[in-house]
Structure 1
Amino acid sequence: MSSIDLNNIPSIDLETFQHESIFKQNNKYWFFEKSDDSFPGQAFGLQIVQILYHTKSPFQDILIFESLNFGNVLVLNGIIQCTEKDEFAYQELITHLPIMSHPNPKKVLVIGGGDCGVIRELIKHVEIGTVESITMVEIDDMVIKLSTKFLPEMAKFHNHPKVNLIIDDGFKFLKTTTEKFDIIITDSSDPEGPAEEFFQISYFKLLFNALHSQGIVIMQSSENIWLNLSYLKNLLKKAKTIFKNVKYSQCYMPSYTSGSLGLVIATNDESKQLMSPLRKFKPSLEAELFKYYNSKVHESSFVLPMWAQNELKN
């Protein structure tokens, strides 16, 4: 991994620190997430308590700060990736939707996911004897190392014996691997910089080639129904050129612009009812394992308002 001395991190003075996403208003410092491409005309803001770390890796701008109400926040290229307050919603849904929809999910591949939240969720299925091996391919090892320091409740299983951690380009890995997986989870950042290629038809083809016949893939859509609906329609169209069975799910995420995040889940097995879990845990076990996911949330996450449902179907 990249060399970072996590035991000797210098303090950062907010008065002198400069970043294009940070502004001072009425003697308070604010982070504002703005994007003229993804969500023009609006922004999401969090009040900053302190800057914990800032660097530019070979791949992206990495900013970590403590917020007033959302705990520690990881930001890549000016876009929030996760906050301690609500990260579990996304991590649980993107992990457990495909796992609980598969009859025998033994072998799992994670593309991206440097904050290691998906790994944390997958380890739950390792511990109950379902998942047997996890391969994680992350291009920027600096994100992993910083997450272990500043997001310890997320990044606590990257050294687990069932996890094979590979520092590489996920696109390149899929082009060269001969392995077949039951589940592939693409936990990438938004389609800018190194993550842009994960939202193209060529990527869906690579996912298809790395899946077992009953395999399931899932990825964050980077959009929800309230933002760029035409982009979302086009992404689903791309997925349907490769996979016969494609569905769109959404989870509530207050730290994501407009408050929800979309997921695209797909398989070439037309018999799979992705919108209903194939396997269910007892309510007592759900309460023990999950903070967001349960079998009813699984089903309801696919329910869309009529205008969005009609638009995406056309």
Structure 2
Amino acid sequence: MPFYCCFWVVLGISVFLWSFSLNYLFPAPFFSPVLLVLIFFLIFSSFADDAGKMVYFNNPMWPGEAHSLKVESILFKEKSDYQEVLVFESSTYGKVLVLDGIVQLTEKDECAYQEMIAHLPLCSIPSPKTVLVVGGGDGGVLREISRHSSVEHIDICEIDKMVIDVSKKFFPELAVGFEDPRVDLHVGDAIEFLRHAPKGKYDAIIVDSSDPVGPAQELVEKPFFETLAQALRPGGVLCNMAESMWLHTHLIEDMISICRETFKGPVHYAWASVPTYPSGVIGFLLCSTEGPPVDFLNPINPIEKLDGAYLHKRELRFYNSEMHRAAFALPSFLKREVRLL
């Protein structure tokens, strides 16, 4: 019931009761305001409780904190074979994709994550031709890779087809990446896919996975990184989502240690601001296999000079060469806590 309707209903009831026999219980100046406030409070409280059940989506991040987004409407909610998939319209960040209760992306800030995780590795090597995306079912990473005209083939391995279908329906500006004829979609387990991938096939691999909990824990362990390294050519590059420096320094240190031992080439940690992610930032681990030297800190293949930089009639919103270099500037506390940096 709208607020103004509640007000007029309460006012009418109050005037009616004041006009009849209850008036003798209290003096007239006292009775009407008290009754009006009491009845209004009871009705409005009931209304707020009913409406408040889905007014805010409370995004649990990590123990001790959460981030809430006001919900305007629920657009989709179903259980896939792997996870619960939710899409809602928020009041401040546009449409939001949620998997198993965790925000994966919003229309407003997806650009920071998608652009950085794709262009940090691809702009660090000359003329990448073959790329693998692990995860990335929303299509945003594909959209960004497609800006690189040198790329001839893109494999993407996403385990949950529902994520792909939902993205195509509700996030067409991300899912446009699936329309690129260079894309070869594989629906299934990425670890199994990589076991059958030819050694040295890819110039770049981008791991756009969910947080490393449950089954996804495998994606931050040494056997998985060894499989990735085997699939990269000498001097090939990996960009792996690497959590928040404010919350996960031990995990970051473990990942860096594993990757330095596995890839043999340079390993660097970069970061970007994404407001709806835990602590408002997200990290990326950049690794290179042994071979032609890779300088991640300075883009050898700058996005500004690429013919496809404005593909899909969409300008880059977050990434540029200055942001590329700045992403590797780390705060003092992180350098102290992660001794390998």
Give TM class, smaller chain.
Answer: 0.7 to 0.9
Paired position in structure 2 for 1:172: 192
Q: Unaligned stretches of 5+ in structure 1?
A: 1-22
- Determine which of 179, 183, 187 is the counterpart of 2:204: 183
**SS of corresponding position for 1:158:** helix
Residue matched to 2:29: none
Does the 8 Å CA contact 1:60/1:193 hold for their aligned counterparts? no
Aligned partner of residue 81 in structure 1, secondary structure: strand
| Mapped partners of 2:52, 2:255: distance in 1 | 41
Cα 1:147–1:194 shift into 2, 3 Å: farther
Three-state SS of the structure 2 residue aligned to 1:147 is: helix
- CA-CA distance at 1:25 after TM superposition: 7.9
Structure 1 residues 299 and 55, CA, compared in 2 at 3 Å: closer, same or farther? same
C-alpha separation in 2, matches of 1:173 and 1:58: 19
Deviations 1:115-161 (A, max 9, x none): 00000011111xxx311111111100110000011111101131321
Matched, 1:95 2:118: yes
Give the C-alpha shift of residue 289 in structure 1. 4.1
For 1:135 and 1:60, the matched residues in 2 are separated by: 23
Query: 1-side partners of 2:229 and 2:245: how far apart?
Result: 26
Please tell me whether residue 205 in structure 1 is matched to residue 226 in structure 2: yes
- Distance in 2 between residues matched to 1:281 and 1:262, nearest whole Å: 20
Relative distance call for 1:293 and 1:269 in structure 2 (3 A) is: farther
Matching residue within 144, 151, 157 for 1:131: 151
State the structure with more CA Rg: 2
Per the alignment, residue 284 of structure 2 pairs with: 263
Aligned counterparts of 1:25 and 1:232: Cα–Cα separation in 2: 41
Bigger fraction of residues in helix: 2
Give the conservation status (yes or no) of the 8 Å contact 1:65–1:72.
yes
CA contact (8 A) 1:24 1:30 kept: no
1:253 to 267, 274, 278: 274
SS at match of 1:40: coil
Counterpart CA distance in 2 for 1:274 and 1:107 is 18
TM-score by length of 2: 0.79
Give the SS at the match of 2:322: helix
Aligned 1:153-172 pairs, distance under 5 A: 153-172=173-192
Partner of 1:299: 325
Task: Go from structure 1 to structure 2 and tell me whether the alpha carbon gap of 1:229 and 1:164 turns closer, same or farther (over 3 Å shift).
Answer: same
CA 1:168/1:291 → structure 2, altered by over 3 Å: closer, same or farther? same
- In structure 2, the CA distance between the partners of 1:164 and 1:211, relative to structure 1 (3 Å rule), is same
Across the aligned residues of Structure 1 and Structure 2, the Cα RMSD in angstroms comes to 2.0
Matched, 1:234 2:254: yes
Deviation at 1:309, TM superposition (A): 1.6
* In 2: Cα distance, 1:26 partner to 1:142 partner: 29
Give the strand-richer structure, 1 or 2.
1
Q: Matches of residues 1-314 of structure 1 in structure 2 within 5 Å? A: 29-35=55-61, 39-125=62-148, 129-178=149-198, 180-221=201-242, 223-244=243-264, 245-269=266-290, 271-282=293-304, 289-314=315-340
Q: CA separation of 1:283/1:99 partners in 2, compared to 1, >3 Å: closer, same or farther?
A: closer
Q: How far apart, CA to CA, are the structure 2 residues paired with 1:71 and 1:262?
A: 23
Paired residue type of 2:66: A
Distance 1:191 1:25, change over 3 A: farther
User: Measured at CA, do residues 24 and 177 of structure 1 come closer, stay the same or move farther in structure 2, by a change above 3 Å?
Assistant: farther
Structure 2 unaligned segments of length 5 or more: list them. Answer: 1-48
In structure 1, what residue type is equivalent to 2:301? R
Letter in 1 for 2:287: A
- Counterpart Cα distance in 2 of 1:123 and 1:175: 26
**Alpha carbons of structure 1 residues 89 and 24: separation in structure 2 relative to 1, 3 Å:** farther
* Whole-angstrom CA distance in 1 between matches of 2:294 and 2:205: 16
Distance 2:163 2:78 in 1: 10
Structure 1 pair 76–40 and aligned structure 2 pair: CA distance change class (3 A): same
Tell me the number of residue pairs that the alignment of Structure 1 and Structure 2 aligns: 285
SS in 1 for 2:235: strand
- Cα distance change, pair 284–140 in 1 and its aligned pair in 2 (3 A): closer
* Cα deviation, residue 104, structure 1: 2.3
TM-score (structure 1 length as normaliser): 0.86
Q: Evaluate the alpha carbon distance shift between residue 67 and residue 197 of structure 1 in structure 2; reply closer, same or farther with a 3 A threshold.
A: same
Question: Counterparts of 2:114 and 2:171 in 1: how far apart (Å)?
Answer: 13
